[in-house]
Amino acid sequence: MKNKVKLIGKKINDLEKNLENCSICPRNCRVNRVAGQIGYCGAGLRAVTYTSFLHRGEEPAISGKMGSGTIFFSGCNLRCVYCQNHKFSHSIQGEVLTRQALCSLMLKLQKEGAHNLNLVTPAHFMPQILRALSMALSRGLNIPIVYNTSSYEKKEIIELLSGIVDIYLADLRYIDGEVASLYSNAKDYPFYAKQSILEMYKQQPEPVFDSGLLKEALVIRHLVLPGYIEESKRILEWIKKNTPNAILSLMFQYQPYHKAGNYLPINRTVSREEYNKLIGFLKGLDLNGWVQDLISEESLAGVHFKPSAKKS
């Protein structure tokens, strides 16, 4: 843990300086967050958390028996039209935390028995989180750090996290820029996500398990969108070709939340026919991980996951 504190110490000043002309993520808003200006993500100077708890609905090797110590940060730099968490990701809602308060929250989750510290949508608060994390590590935080991201990130920022983050829980949402533009106003998403995920894979090329729990890994989550099975196939092929030892988490829990009802064809759930088609395709790829059942109701990620035969 001392090593992580040292690593953060080396990187934090430059990252904090970035807040004065924010280019932490691919949006490159160039706003001065220290002076109170707000960019695309809605985030200001202080970290804001919407909720935190022991999450038992993540993938089994992350939630374990006691749960994953999850902190949901408010705001988001991607803001998809179908976002399940739009209430607090499309606007800033929740508790404004000082670094001391965020540090205490991290330590509290560990004390409650969390198997890991799961930072959800952390990109826009990285400087604030790293400051708090450094304090928490110095005060005994010793569980794995999970970086739970949309992957709309800059490779340079992911490089800074080398040696600090133990588990990347990274979405790969789109591979076609036009689709990314339609639903997330981010035509460059595929470029940035692929670059970032390749960097994560460089840092965590093989998963490490201990007693069925993940200690180090890259887990790539893909949420299948209705009407986009070909897009999903291309994503799975990309994973097979570029990050074959990453753990795949293929998710079918899509529901047309938020504004999705106004968009064809994502105004419905994934059909059984689409599900079967994609599962058939996946079988030929021999990837490791979990596949979610096709479910008709809202469900937390991982509830219906099946570990693959190879690793779990």
Q: Stretches 16-24, 63-71, 201-209, 242-250: which one binds ligand SF4 (CB under 6 A)?
A: 16-24
Q: Which backbone phi and psi does 261 adopt, to 5 degrees?
A: -60, -20
User: Of the two residues 31 and 164, which places its CB atom closer to ligand SF4 in the complex?
Assistant: 31
- SS3 label, residue 196: helix
- SS3 label, residue 206: coil
- Contact status: 39 vs ligand SF4 (CB under 6 A): yes
Burial state string for 129-157 with b = 16 or more CB within 10 A and e = fewer than 16: bbbbbbbbbeeebebbbbbbbbbbbbbeb
Q: Which of 7, 8, 15, 25 binds ligand SF4 (CB under 6 A)?
A: 25
Minimum distance from CB of 91 to ligand SF4 (Å)? 13
Contact 53, 185 (CB under 8 A): no
Q: Which of 7, 8, 41, 200 binds ligand SF4 (CB under 6 A)?
A: 41
Distance CA 105, CA 280 (A): 43
Contact 24, 157 (CB under 8 A): yes
Minimum distance from CB of 25 to ligand SF4 (Å)? 3
User: Of the two residues 155 and 202, which places its CB atom closer to ligand SF4 in the complex?
Assistant: 155
Residue 193 tokens, joined? 């996500």
- Contact status: 157 vs ligand SF4 (CB under 6 A): no
Q: Which of residues 68-87 bind ligand SF4 (CB under 6 A)?
A: 77
Q: How many residues of this chain bind ligand SF4 (CB under 6 A)?
A: 14
- Contact status: 40 vs ligand SF4 (CB under 6 A): yes
Minimum distance from CB of 40 to ligand SF4 (Å)? 4
Contact 221, 171 (CB under 8 A): yes
Residue keyed to tokens 């799961």: 118
- Contact status: 48 vs ligand SF4 (CB under 6 A): no
- Contact status: 154 vs ligand SF4 (CB under 6 A): no
Minimum distance from CB of 23 to ligand SF4 (Å)? 5
